[in-house]
Structure 1
Amino acid sequence: MSTWRGTLTARSLATRFLVFQVLVVTLVLGAVAAVSVAQSTREFRDVRGQRMIAVAENLASTPIVRQRYADAFASRILAPDVDRAVALSGARIVELLAPDGVVRASSEPTRIGRRVDFGRSLVTEGRAWSGDLDVDGLHSLVGQVPVLSTAGEVLAVASVSEPYPTLWQSLSGAGERLVVYLGLGAALGLIASWLLSRRIKRHTRGLEIAEIAGLADHREALLHSIREGVVAVNTDGVITVLNDSAQELLSVSGDAVGRRVDSIGLDPAVEQFLLSDAPGRSADDTVIATRTRVLALNRRPATTRGEEIGTVTTMRDSTELASMQGQLSSHKSMTDTLRAQTHEFANQLHTISGLVQLEEYEAVRDLVGTLTRRREEINEAVTRNISDPAVAALLIAKTSLAAESGVALLIDDDSHLDALPPALATDVITVLGNLVDNAVDVSEGSVRKVVEVTVDDGDGLHISVADSGPGVPVHLRESIFARGVTSKPDVPGGRGIGLALVRLVSAQLGGRVEVTDGPLGGAVFEVRLPGRVTRA
């Protein structure tokens, strides 16, 4: 048994399928044969049963049978009539029976004197009967007719029986056409099975079941163990592959497979990227900032046998890298601020040095006084409303940097900010610094050249930065927070990492950022953080 199982296991997929198809064909042919046999048997019972009754009636109505049925030599006297009944009916046995079942005359002399069991026959009650009985051990169709007296008494019974045909006789009796049809069906079935098995083998590239299952398991294991996210999309925009990392990065579940990209609630920028139909459908290192992550995406077309079947996109979580880049940008901004202040102080020192050389000491005293008052005014304007030292220092530095660009940075008189927890202060500096830098850049070319900052911690933390720039069109107010999109018309390709970081940090703190039209003619960016994050 084990050897047979080993042989079956070693058979190829095409061979197994061929064997299976042969079994199916055999079962179908068997069913057809069974139906044919059943139909032949039913026809035999209906047609031959009536024939048996007719021959038995003819024998029972013969005058000599009615006169000599009880004669001691009835078997010899009635033999010609019995033989004639056999010839007429084609039956195997024709007999004349006594009412008690004893055979008085028979076409089989060896049965004379035997007792026959009438079984379910009703002939002893005076009625003709046709049905199944065992005759000499053979299942036979029997027709029995009573020989009645004038008073209606059963004097004898005329019995005609014929065995049921064998299975082969039934099939042969159905006609040669059935045999031909069965044979033709078997041949066609075998040929079709062989051709189908060859086709399957060609489409499976000769791989067997275990190999196909192994490849599928290996593919699944590889896909779901890769740290990078993998998303495959077919030409109809339906997701066909989505590994575990991609599910986590995109915040979707595994049931997204088999659904269209635009029906699973992805971030609009990611959705547009996956469905975009650029030439070649390839894209290298495209960075997109969603509400909670910064993703680096690469897309390649997927082809098979020269035909494009969709795209495969890999993605990496670059959130930490983007945060580091934001910190570097903040440091660069501070460096630029210090550079601007150094340049300003150098000019002032050169002026003082020149006045001293000219011995204009009174003018030196007036200049120093003026510079001191101006610095104190800037510091006072910031620190009387902003108590957090880090945020205050940022605004003082940004004020000087904006002034170097010819832009006035104003702190709203209604602003108020107490000291923040150190971790939150760092995040607020990142948000506020990027918003101010963006506002100053877009306000440089405007007429008013004003940026107004409002910071309020009365109900949570509210940061508002309004500029006098060109504003943000309504259709860009969502996509502007994605990397590579900017409201600055003079920046080719955009530098939108700052605004992307603003939304990312705000989302991580449980807040949100919005952009609307501002009172200065440009845009106003508002960040709202919940009250729980402001507690030390």
Structure 2
Amino acid sequence: MKKTLKLQTRLTIFVCIVVLIALCITFFTISVQTADRVKEEERTTALRTAKLVAETPSVARALQTRKGLKELRDYTLDVQHTTGTEFVVVMDMNSIRLTHPDANKIGKKFTGGDEQPAMHGHIKTSTSAGTLGKSMRAFVPIYGKDKKQVGVVSVGISLNKIQDVVSHSLRPLYFIICVSIFVGVIGAVIVARTVKNIMYGLEPYEIATLLEERSAMLESTKEGILAVDARGKIKLANAEAKRLFIKMGIPTNPVDQDVNDILPKSRLKQVIETKKPLQDRDIRINGLELVFNEVPIHLKGQTVGAIATFRDKTEVKHLAEQLSGVKMYANALRAQSHEFMNKLHVILGLVQLKEYDDLGTYIKDIAIQQKTETSEIISDVKSPVLAGFLLGKQSYIREQGADLDIQLGSLIPNAADPAVIHELITIIGNLLNNALDAVAQMPKKNITCSMRFQDRQLDIEITDTGAGMSAADQARIFEQGYSTKGTNRGFGLYFTQQATENLKGHMIVTSEKNEGTTFSLRIPYEPKEENDD
């Protein structure tokens, strides 16, 4: 794998380069502006000096009369020293110098040729090389009393001097630039470390890998996952969530939509406000039953959103029903096994005591009882699964010290749909378990299960001699998790209600204190044709 620089190093280098480029641009801009400003100031100084000399009466008089030239030269030297210019030269209309810092140049023609516009009455500045080197020059015409031009004065400032002034003006800037670079490097390191800490010390490729893994996990899970921000806007929906949305008739992309617009029965906003999770809620949306879990998202002590996980309840219920059915079958088989072993122990004891007459009577009574209990169920309940379940349940309840009386008012045909039998086992099994719990502490422990089939309707009635229920309990017994028997209870009657609704049946509860409880059900029941395999 190709080795790359760490994120912190790259950020430090990048920020340093940005700071350096910014400082270079700033330095260049300030340098140019400073140079222009200095040149403009020096040009103004040269022009003012030239105008001062040109407007001095003695200068024009000396040019006209050619008298007082020594005084004129002394005067220009004084002006030169006072203003700090390089030279102040007065020349006549033939460009012959009358004054010059170098006495040897006096009487000679002015060099450079840029004085000609001034000879025609124009004020002019220029940059040119003369006997004293390259300089910036200002030319101003000199007029006599009669307003006639008699000469030109030229004031020059050396370009080297201008450059020295510029360099001197920029010296503080050099110090500022150095300090700025130092501060920029420190700031770059701090920014790089801060970004690194914000990213939990991870490199970009590590973050990309985590993102890919997270996306893969979210998309592969069999539960719908929905994440919303603090305002209730949907920020994430995995593939399963979108599939369930389509199944609910919501084809739109939920991302960036208000969660209450997409799922009116969702309580994610309530979870965000209360900061309390809601677990295992059952909701129905457009005919689809879902099991919802909604929890808030906390980050650094703040609630920044919420996540909902949900699943098609049909799948959950099928699994629960399968587990419930298996448990009921296992309990029934265990009860039959225990009852059979108890009878074998009695028979063995009678054999060892050689009480053969009592043994014969006991076996005869068992045979008669077994024939009486099983023959009616086997002959009238045509579903082997349901018949076996009822017999097993009867043995189990007897083992618990109670009595189960199974009354069949008619022939119970086998169901055309095997799933109906499994739903019936869930319903009857949970109601019998509930009845057994109700009579557990009662002196009279009788349970009656009546079944009757007529006009494609199956009527089931289960009665117990328990303590009964109050009106308040009757109003809540079908709520998931509600129970008067302790914690981790309250699921049997809830599943019974759901199974009854799945079969499009209805159930009535009749109960009074100290009078027992009766569950009456009527369920549509399509019988299996006799010629069906």
Tell me the TM-score normalized by structure 2. Answer: 0.52
C-alpha distance in 1 between matches for 2:445 and 2:32? 103
Tell me the percent identity. 13
* Contact 1:391–1:425 (CA under 8 A) maintained in structure 2: no
* Whole-Å separation in 2 of the counterparts to 1:246 and 1:166: 80
Cα deviation 1:379-433 (Å, max 9, x = unaligned): 7xxx9xxxx979996998799789964578899x9xxx99965055235314422
What residue in structure 2 maps to residue 322 of structure 1?
320
Q: Could you tell me which residue of structure 2 aligns to residue 299 of structure 1? A: none
1:23-102 to 2 correspondences below 5 Å:
23-34=17-28, 36-37=30-31, 40-41=34-35, 43-44=37-38, 47-67=41-61, 84-92=78-86, 94=88
Contact 2:128/2:136 (CA < 8 Å) preserved in 1? no
Q: Hey, what's the Cα distance between the residues in 1 that align with 2:407 and 2:161?
A: 112
1:487 to 475, 483, 487: 483
Partner of 2:469, secondary structure, is coil
The match for 1:116 is 114
Corresponding residue of 2:469: 470
Task: State the alpha-carbon separation in 2 of the partners of residues 329 and 273 from structure 1.
Answer: 38
Shift of 1:52: 2.8
Q: Distance in 2 between matches of 1:510 and 1:165?
A: 106
**How far apart, CA to CA, are the structure 2 residues paired with 1:464 and 1:146?**
131
Task: Give the corresponding residue for 1:429.
Answer: 424
* Deviation of the 1:11 alpha carbon: 3.4
Question: Contact (CA 8 Å) 1:66, 1:147: kept in 2 or not?
Answer: yes
Counterparts in 2 of 1:167-178, with a 5 A limit? 169=164, 172-174=167-169, 176-178=171-173
CA distance in 2, matches of 1:478, 1:164: 104
Q: Give the direction of change, closer, same or farther, for the CA distance of 1:146–1:242 in structure 2 (3 Å limit).
A: same
CA contact (8 A) 1:453 1:465 kept: yes
1:440 corresponds to: 435
Matches of residues 82-481 of structure 1 in structure 2 within 5 Å? Answer: 84-92=78-86, 94=88, 105=97, 112=110, 114-116=112-114, 133-136=126-129, 145-148=140-143, 158-160=153-155, 162=157, 169=164, 172-174=167-169, 176-191=171-186, 193=188, 209-210=204-205, 212-213=206-207, 215-217=209-211, 219-220=213-214, 223-224=217-218, 265=267, 321-332=319-330, 405=402, 421-444=416-439, 445=441, 469-470=468-469, 477=476, 481=480
TM-score w.r.t. the length of structure 1 is 0.51
2:16 to 22, 46, 61: 22
Change (3 A) 1:194 1:227: closer
Question: Is the contact made by 1:55 and 1:88 (CA closer than 8 Å) also made in structure 2?
Answer: no
- AA paired with 2:184? G
Letter in 1 for 2:179: L
Q: What's the offset of the Cα at 1:60? A: 0.9
Q: Residue 331 of structure 1 aligns to which amino acid in structure 2?
A: Y
Distance 1:116 1:393, change over 3 A: same
Structure 2 CA distance, aligned partners of 1:218 and 1:389? 53
The AA in structure 1 aligned to 2:60 is R
Counterpart contact for 1:407–1:443, Cα < 8 Å: no
Measure the CA separation in 2 of the matches of 1:166 and 1:421: 113
The Cα of 1:179 is off from its aligned counterpart by 3.2
Give the number of aligned pairs. 439
Q: CA deviation at 1:524?
A: 9.0
Distance apart, 1:56 and its partner CA: 1.7
Q: Do the aligned partners of 2:476 and 2:482 also contact (CA within 8 Å) in 1?
A: no
Question: In the superposition, relative to structure 1, how do residues 512 and 472 fare at CA in structure 2: closer, same or farther (>3 Å)?
Answer: farther
* CA RMSD across the alignment: 7.3
C-alpha distance in structure 2 between counterparts of 1:457 and 1:135, whole Å:
126
Gaps of 5+ in 2: 247-252, 260-264, 284-288, 294-308, 342-356, 362-367
Gaps of 5+ in 1: 1-5, 277-286, 297-313, 344-352, 358-366
Alignment check: 8 A CA contact 1:224 1:244 kept? yes
| 1:517 Cα deviation after fit | 7.7
